[in-house]
């Protein structure tokens, strides 16, 4: 391999001649051979949006030469579009704050900008990663901003649409099942009747609340500590920089971002990320509950509840012919478990901030975006390949309903709780229905019992 020699604060280092990254990225690549995982493409793209916005701002404020600034803007555009992605090689587990990732961006954009101007890579006397690409910035404020930008873009384009689609499909099922009466269950034991539509309405109602929560978190992340630079004082930024940079970021991303009112609070804490972690955690728990219910209601086909029939998507066993499993619900369960683990990592990292900075931003960023991605994709697959194809097993629900001992609840106003309990116990011991026992015991006449115990009147 051919190399070029670059210099930084630690001295000379060899960098692959064809690489767009430079010395600091090369050192980070060699130092942090940990997981083989890099920051997601959407994070790199969001960071490049910020680099472009800042270059435009510095041009407008007269800090940056137009030739250099325009080249930086063009190079940033390429990164935003996903080009040069293979050049972003820093491991997720790295030195704190994300300095290596920021410098990876600065070096790649600087070297690509040099090419645009007809210069060779590494000719930093013309365009320097720190002096020009990182002008008016620090990792400490820009990495934080890139988290907010990338997360909000992913939430807007991926997570919220997937949740809305799931809610819509669950509402369709709730309407479709609105007249189907079935046995209710509490404590996994028989309870008074409910419609299958009512049961499904609880699912879409829960998802709608999660959408509201995610929207609240989305709005909180529209605040960015742009212009705080190293510790929040804004050292090395020109007057009007933060407001102008936030406007440019908004124009480029299509989402409105605005400077944090208390920039020291914004720099010192991961409060918005912590809030979003909580929203994602509650969403994962909610989805997990729905998945568990779907698996229970579809269990069988002979010895389970089997009140709904799930669309078959693949064979379920390598040894038992014909076995079909609730594969999509199981997949979503696992997505939820992973999401909960990711959120725990975010929470612990947010909990470890010190003084003017939380140095653990890289794993907060990675886990936040990872969670948004797997939840979005998991929800989409679950909706398309499971929820949309659910059908009711009306015969099974009618059979369960006929033998429901909790129908005795409807008798309490007429014969009292104690007598109703006696009838329920007798029916259970004799393996008969409530109605049959009540008629034999002369509790009420058949006509009255038909009216009182009619399931449709009890929902």
User: What token pair was written down for 70?
Assistant: 């325009």
3 pLDDT above the threshold of 90? yes
pLDDT single digits (tens) 397-415: 999 998 899 999 999 999 9
Helices assigned H by DSSP within 117-195: 139-154, 160-176
pLDDT single digits (tens) 338-362: 999 999 999 999 999 999 999 999 9
Q: Active site includes 317?
A: yes
User: What token pair was written down for 192?
Assistant: 């008074």
Same domain? 350 vs 373: yes
Q: What is the mean pLDDT of residues 377-384?
A: 98
- CB of 119 closer than 8 Å to CB of 67: no
> Given this model, what pLDDT does residue 246 score?
98
Same domain? 279 vs 340: yes
Q: How confident is the model at residue 210 (pLDDT cuts 50, 70, 90)?
A: very high
b/e burial code for range 376-406 (CB count within 10 A of at least 16 → b): bebbbbbbebbbbebebbeebbeebbeebbb
End-of-domain residue from the set 77, 112, 135: 135
Q: How confident is the model at residue 334 (pLDDT cuts 50, 70, 90)?
A: very high
pLDDT single digits (tens) 308-331: 999 999 999 999 999 999 999 999
Q: What is the mean pLDDT of residues 351-378?
A: 97
> Given this model, what pLDDT does residue 316 score?
94
Q: What is the mean pLDDT of residues 432-443?
A: 92
Q: How many CB atoms lie within 10 A of CB 78?
A: 16
> Given this model, what pLDDT does residue 87 score?
98
Closest Cα to residue 97, out of 48, 146, 50? 146
Q: How confident is the model at residue 457 (pLDDT cuts 50, 70, 90)?
A: confident
Q: What is the mean pLDDT of residues 419-444?
A: 93
> Given this model, what pLDDT does residue 1 score?
84
Residue 230 lies in a domain: no
CA-CA distance, 14 to 6, in Å (whole number)?
A: 6
Same domain? 79 vs 127: yes
Residue 387 lies in a domain: yes
Q: What is the mean pLDDT of residues 214-231?
A: 98
Same domain? 53 vs 124: yes
Residue 8 backbone phi and psi in degrees, to 5: -140, -165
> Given this model, what pLDDT does residue 387 score?
98
> Given this model, what pLDDT does residue 402 score?
87
Residue 248 lies in a domain: no
> Given this model, what pLDDT does residue 456 score?
87
Total domains in the chain come to: 3
Which domain does 15 fall in, by range?
3-135
Q: Mean pLDDT over all residues of the chain?
A: 97
Same domain? 348 vs 387: yes
Residue 353 lies in a domain: yes
Q: How confident is the model at residue 66 (pLDDT cuts 50, 70, 90)?
A: very high
> Given this model, what pLDDT does residue 455 score?
86
Pairing of strands 258-259, 3-8: unpaired
End-of-domain residue from the set 395, 420, 439: 395
63 pLDDT above the threshold of 90? yes
Find where tokens 């399931």 sit. 455
Find where tokens 């109605």 sit. 435
End-of-domain residue from the set 344, 375, 395: 395
Residue 255 lies in a domain: no
Q: What is the mean pLDDT of residues 187-210?
A: 97
Q: Active site includes 128?
A: no
At residue 11, the 3 state secondary structure works out as: strand
User: What token pair was written down for 39?
Assistant: 């920051």
Same domain? 366 vs 432: no
Residue 124 lies in a domain: yes
346 φψ region: left (φ > 0), alpha (ψ -120 to 50), beta (else): alpha
Which one from 35, 317, 412, 448 is the annotated catalytic residue?
317
Q: How confident is the model at residue 333 (pLDDT cuts 50, 70, 90)?
A: very high
Residue 252 lies in a domain: no
Same domain? 92 vs 184: no
Find where tokens 């960023």 sit. 365
Q: How many CB atoms lie within 10 A of CB 325?
A: 16
Which one from 187, 286, 381, 412 is the annotated catalytic residue?
187
pLDDT single digits (tens) 11-55: 999 999 999 999 999 999 999 999 999 999 999 999 999 999 999
Same domain? 159 vs 72: no
CATH number of the domain residue 341 falls in: 1.20.200.10
pLDDT single digits (tens) 119-165: 999 999 999 999 999 999 999 999 999 999 999 999 999 999 999 99
307 pLDDT above the threshold of 90? yes
Residue 242 lies in a domain: no
């Amino acid at each position: 391999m051919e190399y070029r020699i670059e210099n930084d604060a630690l001295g000379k280092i060899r960098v692959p001649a064809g690489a767009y990254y430079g010395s600091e990225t090369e050192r980070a690549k060699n130092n942090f051979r940990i997981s083989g995982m890099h920051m997601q493409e959407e994070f790199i793209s969001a960071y490049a949006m910020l680099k472009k916005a800042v270059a435009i701002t510095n041009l407008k404020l007269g800090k940056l030469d137009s030739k250099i600034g325009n080249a930086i803007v063009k190079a940033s555009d390429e990164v935003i579009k996903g080009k040069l992605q293979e050049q972003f090689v820093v491991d997720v587990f790295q030195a704190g704050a994300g300095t290596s990732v920021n410098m990876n961006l600065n070096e790649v954009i600087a070297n690509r900008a040099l090419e645009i101007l007809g210069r060779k890579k590494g000719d930093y006397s013309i365009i320097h990663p720190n002096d020009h690409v990182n002008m008016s910035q620090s990792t400490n404020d820009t990495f934080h901003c890139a988290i907010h930008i990338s997360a909000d873009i992913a939430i807007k384009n991926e997570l919220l649409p997937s949740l809305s689609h799931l809610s819509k499909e669950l509402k369709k099922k709730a309407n479709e099942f609105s007249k189907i009466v079935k046995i209710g269950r509490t404590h996994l034991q028989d309870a008074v009747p409910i419609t299958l539509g009512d049961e499904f309405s609880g699912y879409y109602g829960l998802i709608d609340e999660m959408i509201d929560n995610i929207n609240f978190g989305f709005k909180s992340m529209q605040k960015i500590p742009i212009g705080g630079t190293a510790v929040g004082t804004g050292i090395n930024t020109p007057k009007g920089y933060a407001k102008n940079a936030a406007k440019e970021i908004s124009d480029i991303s299509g989402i409105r971002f605005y400077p944090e009112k208390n920039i020291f609070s914004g720099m010192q804490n991961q409060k918005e990320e912590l809030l979003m972690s909580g929203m994602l955690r509650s969403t994962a728990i909610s989805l997990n509950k729905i998945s568990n219910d779907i698996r229970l209601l579809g269990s069988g086909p002979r010895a389970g509840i089997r009140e709904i029939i799930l669309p078959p998507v693949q064979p379920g066993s390598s040894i038992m012919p014909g076995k079909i499993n609730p594969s999509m619900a199981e997949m979503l369960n696992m997505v939820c478990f992973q999401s909960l683990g990711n959120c725990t990592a975010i929470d612990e990292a947010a909990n470890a901030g010190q003084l003017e900075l939380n140095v653990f931003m890289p794993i907060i960023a990675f886990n936040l975006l990872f969670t948004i991605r797997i939840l979005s994709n998991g929800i989409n697959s679950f909706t398309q390949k499971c929820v949309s194809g659910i059908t009711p097993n009306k015969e099974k629900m009618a059979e369960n309903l006929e033998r429901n001992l909790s129908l005795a609840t409807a008798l309490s106003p007429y014969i009292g709780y104690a007598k109703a309990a006696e009838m329920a116990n007798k029916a259970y011991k004799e393996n008969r229905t409530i109605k049959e026992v009540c008629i034999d015991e002369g509790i009420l006449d058949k006509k009255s019992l038909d009216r009182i115990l009619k399931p449709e009147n009890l929902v």
